[in-house]
Chain A
Amino acid sequence: MGQLYLNLSSESVMIEVKELSKTYQLGKVDVHAMVDVTFRIDAGEFVAVMGPSGSGKSTLMNLLGCLDLPSSGSYFLEKFDIRSLSPNQLAEVRNKRIGFVFQNFNLLPRASALENVELPLLYGRIQNSHQIARDSLERVGLADRAMHRPNELSGGERQRVAIARAIVNNPAIVLADEPTGNLDTRTGDEIMNVFSSLNDEGATIILVTHERDVASRARRIIQMKDGRMHQDILNEGLIA
């Protein structure tokens, strides 16, 4: 447990979780939100996490996103043992190595699209943040909307801004929590296209969804049920 680095069998391992569990205490009752989840995700993978509500998908996302710490088990992100990091180091991991995309976009309402994308760079004290943020917006095809505020953008555009923000620091993984949940089917498809092309460019993407259509865009599907990993399958349709 004390080791900081894991001897990786392959250089390309991005995430390695072993017997990861999370137990919440609600009063005197222990709620086992996640029990003994073990898997490995390599660089460049596109993984969908599926399951009904209460199956532990959100808990898994929070743990992978370093927003929460596991009750037991280990989590290595790019060789780093997450449990050994200080709160400030965790903040830095969230800032530089993880990109979040949320169902409800979670943009700052008073800031322009560009400023929203720029924000992680500011927290990371990265030089030339303006240009980098602009490039990121271009990658999601929104360069011409840079100065608009979120309330002046459509749902699909907002989610693109959120994706641009998630990838602006070239993170190790992009975590998307129901990214199409608030969008109509056509716009949802467009957003999935953005994820697909990012994945083609080499980004590692983990996506939580309960929609089969959305999950079908991923190369691998992890099924959660009652806090445990139920299934871990390759998406044959796509691979074959």
Chain B
Amino acid sequence: MLIYDLFKMALRSLIANTMRTFLTALGMIIGVASVISMISIGEGARQQTLSTISKFGTNIITVKPGRKKTRHVSSDSVQTLLLSDADAIEEHVSLIIGAAAQVYRPAQLKFGNKNTNTTVRGTGRKYAKLANFTLDSGRYFTKEEIISARRVAVIGATVVKNLFPDINPIGQELKVDGNNYLVIGITEAKGALSWYDPDDQIFIPVTTAQKRLFGMSYVQSIDIQADKIEDLEQIKKEIDTFLRIRHGIREGEESDFHVQNSSQWLNSWGDAAKTFTYLLGGIAGISLLVGGIGIMNIMLVSITERTREIGIRIAIGAKKSEIMEQFLIESVLISFIGGGIGIMLGILISRTVSEIGGWETIVSTQSILLAFGFSVAVGIFFGFYPARKAANLNPIDALRYE
């Protein structure tokens, strides 16, 4: 028998039991739709996280102060890095574009009768470039303003929204912990992560922050930008060696600082998000499996019902393989139909989620192929046993079956 005729026959028997076919396919529809929508939600979350994180720059090495232990006496851990360390690194370490020290603290801002709590970040000139901030309007502070520790500020988009909803903030003076600061620039909005809004901060010269605002002599971190990502490891080593010598740390002694790399952070975040996606997809995959069991169940019922038909077919010359093919095609067809509708439903769900929930979702061709391929495989796998059972029926008994 030609495959075309087998398809026609399978389709006919599926149509003859429309309701049953639909309910059986529903298992597959739900399975495929949930796999596709779950993966798209996971993928969307991953891409969004990664793209937001990469806005901070991926070729950045961060030096943070660490605990220094001398003869079992711990000294205060956070005061080991100085502004001069940043300058020295910039001057002496090769393969880098620049280094910027920073200090930061939450502070209260006031303008007119409005106030807000935000992070005040004291940085050098290079920080904006290092942290991938671009200016929306105005300017960044000059070298001269840093040296003379002027009270000037570049503010983030969220701060603009909170304090200056109606007027252009540039040229206005806002109060930081009671002191007036001149707004000279606004950074372009980056968009918030769920746990961190990079636009909710203001930048002031690091010297101003140290001397006038926070009263501290040390810095909280130094960011170094590499020229090329490939050089990151070498630069890390160089900084480590350089700072150990500069801080007079002897061999075998623990460093009083840590050198970190933001791309490591990015990778581990990416991995975590990927695991999350797999987890979602895996849970959804279970429903596919349940759908497959539904197919097997209904195929077994169908074969019992059609025992006599199978007997007739064998009597008029159907080979075992042809009986088997007929029922396999039926089960695959159910999963095929279920898979097809499931894909459409899955896309619909992920669109709805991104529209209503405001989440980004990404329906990848890969996830569609995966879900569809898996559903057809489920159809074959769960259709195989019933089909073989049909093919092995004894024609004499089958013909007598009432």
Contact = CB atoms under 8 A, between A and B. Distances in A.
Interface in A83-112: 87-88, 91-92, 94-96, 100, 102, 106-108, 110-111
B73 interface: no
Given A62-B396, A108-B309, A122-B2, A94 B13 contact: no
A144 B318 CA distance: 28
Contacts of B322: 123
Contacts of A68: 396
B308 A106 contact: yes
B312 interface: yes
A28 interface: no
Interface residues of B, number: 23
B317 A106 contact: no
Nearest to B5: A122
B35 to A, nearest CB: 34
Interface in B1-55: 1-2, 5, 12-13, 16
A65 interface: yes
Contact of B317 (A62, A95, A107, A111): A95
A235 B313 CA distance: 34
Contacts of B16: 110
Given A68-B396, A102-B399, A125-B2, A110 B317 contact: no
A173 to B, nearest CB: 14
Contacts, number: 61
Interface string A106-143: 11101100000001101111000000000000000000
Interface in B307-348: 308-309, 311-322
A153 interface: no
B57 interface: no
Of A100, A108, A111, A120, which is in contact with the most chain B CB atoms at under 10 Å from its CB? A108
A91 B399 contact: no
B316 A95 contact: yes
A108 B314 CA distance: 13
Given A67-B314, A88-B321, A107-B312, 16 more contacts: A62-B396, A68-B396, A87-B320, A88-B319, A88-B320, A91-B317, A92-B319, A94-B316, A95-B317, A96-B317, A102-B399, A106-B308, A108-B309, A108-B312, A123-B313, A124-B317
The 4 A-B pairs at the shortest CB distance, nearest first, are namely A95-B317, A91-B319, A94-B317, A120-B316
Interface of B: 1-2, 5, 12-13, 16, 308-309, 311-322, 395-396, 399
Interface of A: 62, 65, 67-68, 87-88, 91-92, 94-96, 100, 102, 106-108, 110-111, 119-120, 122-125, 165
